[in-house]
Amino acid sequence: MADGTRGKGDRKNPPDDEAALSARLESLGDRLATVRRPTENDSRSPQTADTTGMARGLRLSTELVAGVLVGAAIGWLLDRWLGISPWGLIVFLLLGFAAGVLNVMRVAGVAPDRTK
Amino acid sequence: MADPVQQFEIVKLFPVAKIGGQEIAFTNSAAFMVLAVVGITGFLLTSTARRAVVPGRMQSLAELSYEFVASTIGSTTGKEGMRFFPFVFSLFMFVLVANLVGLVPYTFTVTSHIIITVALAMSVFLTVVVYGVWKHGLHFFGLFVPKGIPIFILPLIVFIEVLSFISRPISHSVRLFANMLAGHITLKVFASFITLLGGLGAVGIASAVLPLAMVIGLTALELLVAFLQAYVFTILTCIYLNDALHPGH
């Protein structure tokens, strides 16, 4: 609908209006850029803030368990392969617990992220 | 009382092939995975077919999903992360549609099986490791060596960092699987309370209103969880991919 009327208008316009049209397009592009820029820079706009909060909460729930499980699994396998039961399980369960706590602290933002 | 776990049963629909004496069958799980993929592809193709400057409803939805994933990648990994956009977008759409389809009664929830979520999480994990090593070589393993740690406790820290890294695909997959499984079991249990109470005469029917209200509330909650879990899965994928892109900054 809007496209149709615009097309008719263009056909009627003399060629020297093209410069004005391109100037208008340029200014529109600038305005679009200024509108877009803030959303790119601060991605955590207020609209998504509560969603990310709940998402972070959901993340926390399994991080600790995963660390302990991995530690226990590695320890148990080492015990079986090397026949050093129960030392592998004891040591790696503790290390796994530490890893799990580290995971949780990273998600909670208490410990610094390793990438920074 | 109906068995609340029966909904997760794998049913063989028809056999496809036999590999090494093991029958490979097309199951209801496979059928719903195909449904999800076909649904996503069909939705994206039909909604973007017109390529209108002023988008219609369906095209807005497609553009919204694109913008959502693109901004998630952009905010966690920066511009370089966009090379993983097809991968992340496919994961997000698959998990989201599989979660949402599972909410329709009489359907099968693909993501409530840990084998599916582990496969998805392992594909992310392997992508991170392979891409990280390919792009950065041994420097990638600097991820496990935090800076500013005294040398005499460094081996211990490296061990803990490695364990923390290995635990990622587990927490990544278990979170999605457990949330979907628990949510669907809870729905089923409360729904079966309604029929049980309904069989107890007038008083039973009157009190069956309570679990009915609960089921309605839970369904709304599950709808939120279905979306949030897809979002959490996506954002974690981005965070892990960020380690492959910029290890040890």
Chain-chain contact of A115 with B167 (C-beta, under 8 angstroms): no
Contacts of B235 in chain A (CB under 8 A): 52, 55
Closest CA to B161 of A116, A56, A101: A101
Residues A100 and A68 occupy one common structural domain: yes
Determine the distance in angstroms separating the CA of B246 from the nearest CA of chain A, rounded to an integer. Answer: 7
Contacts of B236 in chain A (CB under 8 A): 59
Is A12 within 8 Å of A20 (Cβ atoms)?
A: no
Chain-chain contact of B229 with A115 (C-beta, under 8 angstroms): no
Residues A103 and A55 occupy one common structural domain: yes
Chain-chain contact of A95 with B248 (C-beta, under 8 angstroms): no
Residues A73 and A26 occupy one common structural domain: no
Nearest to B171 among A40, A62, A74 (CB): A62
Note the pLDDT of residue A41.
45
Contacts of A67 in chain B (CB under 8 A): 163-164, 167, 171
- What is the dihedral sign for C-alpha B187, B221, A66, B236? positive
Residues A28 and A57 occupy one common structural domain: no
Is B37 within 8 Å of B91 (Cβ atoms)?
A: no
Report if residue A72 sits inside a domain: yes
List the domain range (segments joined by +) for residue A70.
50-108
Cis? peptide before A86, omega within 30° of 0? yes
Residues A88 and A63 occupy one common structural domain: yes
Q: What is the pLDDT of residues B113-132, one digit of tens each?
A: 999 999 999 999 999 999 99
Average pLDDT over residues B13-18: 85
Residues A55 and A102 occupy one common structural domain: yes
CA–CA distance, B206 with B208 (Å, rounded to integer): 5
Which residue has 């909410």 as its token pair?
Answer: B103
Q: Which pLDDT band, with edges at 50, 70 and 90, does A5 fall under? A: very low
Q: What is the pLDDT of residues A76-111, one digit of tens each?
A: 999 999 988 788 899 999 999 999 998 888 888 776
Residue A88 forms contact with B (CB below 8 Å): no
Contacts of A70 in chain B (CB under 8 A): 163, 166-167, 170
Report if residue A15 sits inside a domain: yes
Report if residue A116 sits inside a domain: no
Report if residue A113 sits inside a domain: no
Residues A102 and A64 occupy one common structural domain: yes
Is B24 within 8 Å of B14 (Cβ atoms)?
A: no
CA–CA distance, B87 with B131 (Å, rounded to integer): 13
- Total domain count for chain A? 2
The A residues from 15 to 74 touching B (CB cutoff 8 Å) are 39-40, 43-44, 51-52, 54-55, 58-59, 61-63, 65-67, 69-71, 74
Residues A54 and A104 occupy one common structural domain: yes
What are the counts of helices (DSSP H) followed by strands (DSSP E) for chain A? 4, 0
Sorted by sequence, the CB contacts under 8 Å of residue B75 that are 6+ apart come out as A43, A44
**Does residue B213 have a pLDDT over 90?**
yes
Average pLDDT over residues B7-19: 86
Q: State the average pLDDT for chain A.
A: 74
**Does residue B247 have a pLDDT over 70?**
yes
Average pLDDT over residues A30-51: 56
CA–CA distance, B8 with B5 (Å, rounded to integer): 6
- The residue among A94, A114, A116 with the most chain B CBs within 10 A of its CB, best to mutate, is A114
DSSP state of B141: G
Residue of higher predicted confidence among B220 and A18: B220
Chain-chain contact of B163 with A54 (C-beta, under 8 angstroms): no
Q: Is A99 left (phi over 0), alpha (psi -120 to 50) or beta?
A: alpha
Residues A76 and A33 occupy one common structural domain: no
**Does residue A7 have a pLDDT over 80?**
no
Long-range contacts of B54-63, Cβ-Cβ distance < 8 Å, separation of 24 or more: B54/A2
Which H or E element spans position B12?
Answer: strand B12-19
Q: What is the pLDDT of residues B135-162, one digit of tens each?
A: 888 888 888 888 778 888 888 888 888 9
Chain-chain contact of A43 with B232 (C-beta, under 8 angstroms): no
Residues A61 and A95 occupy one common structural domain: yes
Domain boundaries, chain B: 6-245
**Does residue A39 have a pLDDT over 60?**
no
Q: Which pLDDT band, with edges at 50, 70 and 90, does A115 fall under? A: very low
